[in-house]
């Protein structure tokens, strides 16, 4: 097995130590598992915008078409 050295911010190191303690694994094992999981997910692990996540919902709701323009409907908005 190859050795890899890296620097991490103190907060990330604290999170890593806590996770290792909780799972009763070494920090190295936790990091290996995280890298393997990231490799399995590929680009799906990257956060998406709300629009990208909700794209399939666009147009799926029925209702009045003038909700944003009809002043009568906007009268009590925000109360």
pTM: predicted TM-score of the whole model, two decimal places: 0.52
- Which of 27, 4, 3 lies closest to 15, judged by CA? 27
12-21, 48-57, 61-70: range with highest mean pLDDT: 12-21
pLDDT exceeds 90 at position 53: no
Q: How far apart are CA 42 and CA 76, in angstroms?
A: 46
Q: What confidence score (pLDDT) does residue 71 get?
A: 84
For 11-42, what is each residue's pLDDT tens digit? 999 999 999 999 999 999 999 999 998 888 77
Contact criterion met (CB below 8 Å) for 16 and 9: no
What is residue 57's DSSP assignment?
Answer: G
Phi/psi for 33 (5° steps) reads -65, -40
């Amino acid at each position: 097995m190859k050795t890899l050295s890296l620097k991490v911010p103190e907060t990330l190191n604290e999170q890593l130590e806590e996770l290792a303690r909780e799972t009763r694994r070494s920090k190295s094992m936790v990091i290996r598992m995280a890298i393997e999981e990231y490799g399995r997910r590929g680009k799906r692990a990257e956060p998406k915008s709300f629009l990208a996540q909700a794209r399939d919902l666009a147009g799926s709701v029925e209702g009045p078409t003038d909700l944003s323009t009809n002043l009568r409907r906007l009268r009590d908005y925000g109360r």
